[in-house]
Amino acid sequence: PERDTETETQVPMRGGAVIRDHLESIRATARAVETVPELAVIAKHLSAAVDATAAATEWLLETGAADPAARLPGATAYLEMLALTTAAEILTAGALAARELDGDTADQRAVLARFFAVNRVARVPGMVASVTSLGPELAAGRAHVLGG
């Protein structure tokens, strides 16, 4: 039976508006910490990650409309990009909110958010090629590759 890949993923929901809204929310968090000295380094990494994830999202939306199978080779990398970017936003929002708490808690949350941004999120922009590079090529050759 034919599979309806449009219903198997959340990315194309409402024409991509759901994921675009989510990414815009992350952008807002990155902007919110630009001027907070102990969190400012996060803004650079989080902004770059959300830009990269947005670029990959747009590629998936455009390519998926024309050839849904072309999205499959990059699906895992895309989910990792989205997960890292979303996790960074959660940690950053927590660090921002913790500034209202005692100094130790605020410091601990800021350190964790900075560590995650520098050590995990900083690599998200380099993952775009893993999403976009081989999809059309593999989709075009899938019959040969799969022995069909």
pLDDT classification of 121: cutoffs 50, 70, 90: very high
- pLDDT digit string (tens) for 6-40? 434 566 556 678 889 999 999 999 999 999 999 99
Q: How far apart are CA 96 and CA 99, in angstroms?
A: 6
Q: How far apart are CA 63 and CA 50, in angstroms?
A: 20
The answer to whether the CB of 42 falls within 8 A of the CB of 96 is: no
pTM of the model: 0.82
- pLDDT digit string (tens) for 42-60? 999 999 999 999 999 999 8
What end-to-end distance do the CA atoms of the chain give, in Å? 17
Mean pLDDT of the chain: 85
Query: What integer pLDDT is reported at residue 6 of this predicted model?
Result: 43
Q: How far apart are CA 91 and CA 109, in angstroms?
A: 7
